[in-house]
A and B are shown apart, each in its own frame.
Chain A
Amino acid sequence: MSTTTLTPTPTGTGTSAPAAVLHDEGRIGLRGNLRHIGALVRRNLLQIKKDPESMFDALLMPIVFTLLFVYVFGGSVGGSMGGDRQDYLNYLIPGLMAMMGMNIAMAVGSGVNDDFRKGVMDRFRTMPIARSSVLIAKIVVELGRMMVATLILLGMGFALGMELQESVLGLVGAIALSAAFGAAIMWIFILLGLTMKTAQAVQGTGMLVLMPLQFGSSIFAPTQTMPGWLRTFTDYNPLSNLADAARALMMGGPLAHSVWVTLGWTVVITAVTAPLAVSRFRKKS
Chain B
Amino acid sequence: MVSMTRNDNDLKGGVNAVEVRGLVKHYGGTKALDGVDLDVREGTVLGVLGPNGAGKTTLVRCLSTLIVPDAGHAVVAGWDVVKQPRQLRRTIGLTGQYASVDEKLSGWENLYMIGRLLDLPRRKARSRADELLERFSLTPAARKAAMDYSGGMRRRLDLAASMIGSPAVLYLDEPTTGLDPRTRNEVWDEVQRMVAEGATVLLTTQYMEEAEQLASELTVIDQGRIIARGGVDELKAKVGGRTLQIRPSDPAELAAMAQALREAGLDGVAGAQAVPDEGLLHVPILSDAQLTAVIGLLGTRGFSLAHVATALPSLDEVFLAITGDKATHTETIPQEVAA
Contact = CB atoms under 8 A, between A and B. Distances in A.
Interface of A: 1-2, 4, 6-9, 11-17, 21, 24-28, 32, 35-36, 38-40, 42-43, 46-47, 50-51, 118-129, 285
Given A15-B4, A27-B86, 4 more contacts: A15-B200, A26-B90, A43-B109, A285-B67
B96 interface: yes
Interface stretch (B111-119, B258-266, B320-328): B111-119
Interface string B79-113: 10000111101111010101111111100010001
A4 B113 contact: no
B66 interface: yes
A239 to B, nearest CB: 33
B176 interface: no
B28 interface: no
Nearest to B67: A285
B17 interface: yes
7 contacts: A2-B15, A2-B39, A11-B11, A12-B15, A47-B104, A120-B101, A128-B118
Q: Is the interface of B mostly helix, strand, loop or mixed?
A: loop
B90 A285 contact: no
B41 interface: yes
Given A13-B77, A46-B104, A126 B94 contact: yes
Given A14-B11, A26-B86, A7 B109 contact: no
Contacts of A119: 96, 98-101, 158
A43 to B, nearest CB: 5
Contacts, number: 140
A118 B98 CA distance: 8
A122 to B, nearest CB: 5
B95 to A, nearest CB: 9
Given A15-B42, A50-B145, A120 B100 contact: yes
B15 A16 contact: no
A4 B57 CA distance: 26
Contacts of B15: 2, 4, 6, 12-14
Interface of B: 4, 6, 9, 11-12, 14-17, 19, 39, 41-42, 61, 64-67, 75, 77-79, 84-87, 89-92, 94, 96, 98-105, 109, 113-114, 116-119, 145, 158, 161, 168, 198, 200
Contact of B19 (A6, A21, A127, A285): A6
A2 B12 CA distance: 13
Contacts of A9: 78
A123 B86 contact: no
B25 to A, nearest CB: 10
A25 B83 CA distance: 10
B94 A123 contact: yes
A1 B39 contact: yes
